[in-house]
Amino acid sequence: MDSFILLSLPQSYVKLANKAVRENKLKVASALYFKAAESALEAYKKTHDNEEKEYLEDFIRNNIDLARYYNPAKKEATVSKGKSNSKKEIKDITAFDIPSKTFEDVAGMQSIKKDIEKKIIWPVTDPEDYRKYVGGGCRGVIMYGPPGCGKTLLAKAAAGEANKSGSSVKFYKVDQSDIKNMYVGNSEQNMRNLFENAAKNQPAIIFFDEVDSLAGTRGKDLSGHRKDLANEFKSDFDDITDKTILVIGATNHPWNIDSAFVRPGRFEELIFVPPPDLEARAKILEIHTKGREIDNEIDFNKLAGLTKGYSGADLEKICKDAGLLAYERKRNNSENSKINYSDFLKGIEKTKPSLKQWCAEVKDQMIDGRYPDKRVLRKGISEEFKVILDVVDQLEDIF
């Protein structure tokens, strides 16, 4: 939905409220700002678009602030999201996991695994010696790359790998919606609680999905609330110097991350997680059909050759679809019920390579000028991310 349409009713309340302020009818103004926030909340409930949600959150919070400002008696003004009240809105985001997945569950990416061993596993499993040799240890790593290609899986496997050696690394998986809250101060509180809990349970890895929405630039126009949250994030980051906590941020849009976060002491390492290559695709298909009723003759390398441009998640889906076809035959008492080559081909045909859309999006966001000969990186995008364009170029040949 268009933000303009979403906000047309709330904005009409804001206009009336502004008018009331000009006429010095401050209580009326306060009530109208509150109405604006309430009607924006209705729009918030209807949209599933993250950007729109963020925009609306800011809008709601700003208007609640204004409602409170013009009528201090209404200090407790909140808009209720469903049945919850403002206190309950502070989430318990302290649940963690001790992952059992290891690098064996992740196909390919040998050099990335080595990199992760040095940058993530060593500092959390052997912090004392690591400090003696390397210093304060790395505190944060950004994993970036296309969707469905193993960032979350790699992060979990890194914790699982660390635990193989007898450590007990806790893994906190945090989505932006776990942190963000539309009431003033609550998001910052969520962030603080998270870091405090990880400190109590160290060694720990905190994994932030879509980290650009918490540490994003849209720098200059960050609203007060988002700035407060980003500042809280930075300060919590700075407080883990002497703790065995590693922060991993994952994003598909690394150029959106505020450079204040990408520096020594915060996210000091960037790891590109690319689409799976031929070998990795064969292995992903193998991993995701392990233990299933599969025809022994299946040549995964051949299937991998047909799936360039498919993400790990796409390949997992193809395995499921192929399995379902064979299972249907089994239910119909067919003799030929093993998952066979033709089932995989049908699965491939049915699934569109999701990286196609990613390629288009990346070009749109990264490149200025005519593609491909006169292209230049958009202002503010680091040369480091050119590696993404190389991958896009290779994939575009097949789409």
Ligand X SMILES: Nc1ncnc2c1ncn2[C@@H]1O[C@H](COP(=O)(O)OP(=O)(O)OP(=O)(O)O)[C@@H](O)[C@H]1O
Position 10 contacts ligand X (CB under 6 A): no
Residue type (1 letter), 313: A
The distance of closest approach from Cβ of residue 248 to ligand X in the complex, given in angstroms and rounded to an integer, is 11
Distance of alpha carbon 162 from alpha carbon 288, whole angstroms: 23
Q: Is residue 204 within a helix (H) or strand (E), and if so which, with residue range? A: strand 204-208
Of 56, 45, 110, 52, residue with least CA distance to 81:
45
Q: Which backbone phi and psi does 216 adopt, to 5 degrees?
A: -80, 165
Query: Binds 274, which of Mg ion, ligand X, none (CB < 5 to 8 A, cut-off by type)?
Result: none
**90 contacts 178 by C-beta, under 8 angstroms:** no
| Residue 108, CA atoms < 13 Å, CB-side half-sphere | 21
Using CB under 5 A as the binding rule, whether residue 152 contacts Mg ion is answered as yes
Segment interacting with ligand X (CB under 6 A) among 57-65, 91-99, 149-157, 232-240: 149-157
Is there a contact between 56 and 6 (Cβ–Cβ < 8 Å)?
A: yes
CB neighbours of residue 135 within 10 Å: 9
Is 107 a residue that touches ligand X (CB under 6 A)? Answer: yes
Judged by CB under 6 A, the residue of 149, 204, 214, 282 near ligand X is 149
Quote the least distance from Cβ 117 to ligand X, whole Å: 16
From the list 3-11, 149-157, 233-241, 296-304, the region that binds Mg ion by CB under 5 A is: 149-157
Considering only 59-67, 104-112, 196-204, 362-370, which stretch makes contact with ligand X by CB under 6 A?
104-112
What's the min distance (Å) between Cβ of 212 and ligand X? 11
For position 141 contacting ligand X by CB under 6 A, the verdict is: no
Write the DSSP symbol of residue 276. Answer: P
What is the spatial distance between Cα 58 and Cα 61, in angstroms, rounded to a whole number?
5
- How far, in Å, CA of 262 to CA of 67, rounded? 37
How many positions of this chain bind ligand X (CB under 6 A)? Answer: 20
| Nearest by Cα to 124 from 165, 162, 160, 172 | 162
Q: Which residues contact 299 (CB under 8 A, 6 or more apart)?
A: 341
**Residue 66 near which of Mg ion, ligand X, none (CB within 5-8 Å, type-dependent):** none
Listed ranges 51-59, 110-118, 147-155, 391-399: which one lies at the site for ligand X (CB under 6 A): 147-155
Nearest residue (CB) to ligand X, 188 versus 316: 316
Task: Map residues 309-338 to x or -, x wherever contact with ligand X holds by CB under 6 A.
Answer: ---xx--x----------------------
Q: Tell me the residue type at 55.
A: Y
Q: Which does 108 bind (CB under 5 to 8 A by kind): ligand X, Mg ion, none?
A: ligand X
For binding to Mg ion (CB under 5 A), which residues are involved? 151-152
Residue numbers of the site for ligand X (CB under 6 A)?
A: 106-108, 147-153, 209, 250, 252, 276, 280, 284, 287, 312-313, 316
